[in-house]
Amino acid sequence: MELLRLEDVTFAYPGRPPVHQGLNFTLNKGDRLGIWGPNGAGKSTMFLLAMGLVAPSQGRIHGLGQLCQSENDFRRLRRQVGLLFQDPDDQLFCPTVAEDVAFGPRNLGLGKDEALRVVDRTLADLGLEGYQKRVTYQLSGGEKRLVSLAAVLAMEPQAILLDEPSNGLDEEHSVRLERRLLDSPLSWAIVSHDRGFLQRLCQRILVMQDGALVEQ
C-alpha cells in the first residue's frame, strides 16, 4: 500500500534556484528507508513538501494513495504520517512537556485521561519518565528532540518522517529510540548524517544528490 508519493516535483524557495526539479519519492507501507546526502541537498525540504508545508511549483503529492490538493487533504495525511522537524523548536509550542505530547492525541479526539496515559507511556518508552511537568523551553537540545519524537509517536501514525532524529542524543537515549522504533509496526523514512544509525534501522538507503534520490 502506497502511503506517500512525490511525483515529478519541482520546488524553489522564493528568489532562490530550484532545490528540486522532477523529484520522485515513494514510501510504501512496510518501508523503512534511510536518506542521506550533503548539507543543503534538499532532504528537509522534501519532507516539508510531502506534508504540504511548502507547495511545489510543478508535480504532484499523493498521500494514502490519493492526490493531495487542498489543506484538508494534507491534514488527513498528517494524521497518518508524522513529521519530526529537524529543529525541535519548530515542533514544540506548549508550556509543558505533557501538554506538547498530549496535543496530538487530544486533537485526534482522545479524552484527557486517555491522552495522559499515552503521554506517560510514550515518555517512558523514550527514557523521559518524570518529564511531564518540565517547562519545554528550558529543556536541553537533546531533551527537546526526544520530546518532539514523543509528540510524533503519541499520534500513533502509520508512518513517520524523521529529520535527524538522533542528533544530540546520548548513547542511552539513542539506543532506546532505536528499540522503540524497531519494536513498532511503523513505516518510515529517516534523514540522517549518522550512517550507522541508518544502517541499523533501514532496509534501504537512498542518497539525495543534485536534487534527485538514488539508491546507495
Ligand X SMILES: Nc1ncnc2c1ncn2[C@@H]1O[C@H](COP(=O)(O)OP(=O)(O)OP(=O)(O)O)[C@@H](O)[C@H]1O
Question: Which residues contribute to the site for ligand X (CB under 6 A)?
Answer: 13, 16, 19, 37, 39-45, 86
- Within 61-170, residue ranges assigned H as helices are 71-80, 97-107, 112-125, 141-153
Looking at beta carbons only, is 43 or 62 nearer to ligand X?
Answer: 43
CB of 167 to ligand X, least distance (A): 10
**Rounded to an integer, what distance in angstroms lies between the CA atom of residue 86 and that of residue 106?**
24
Looking at beta carbons only, is 6 or 98 nearer to ligand X?
Answer: 6
Residue 94: closest CA among 154, 10, 36, 23: 154
CB of 19 to ligand X, least distance (A): 5
Looking at beta carbons only, is 76 or 193 nearer to ligand X?
Answer: 193
Residue-level length of the chain = 216
Looking at beta carbons only, is 86 or 174 nearer to ligand X?
Answer: 86
Q: What sign results for the dihedral spanned by CA atoms 134, 138, 142, 144? A: positive
What is the residue type of 1? M
Note whether 103 and 151 are within 8 A (CB): yes
CB of 53 to ligand X, least distance (A): 11
Looking at beta carbons only, is 37 or 105 nearer to ligand X?
Answer: 37
CB of 48 to ligand X, least distance (A): 8
| DSSP structure class, residue 5 | E
CB of 150 to ligand X, least distance (A): 22
Q: Parallel, antiparallel, or unpaired: how do β-strands 32-36 and 204-209 relate?
A: parallel
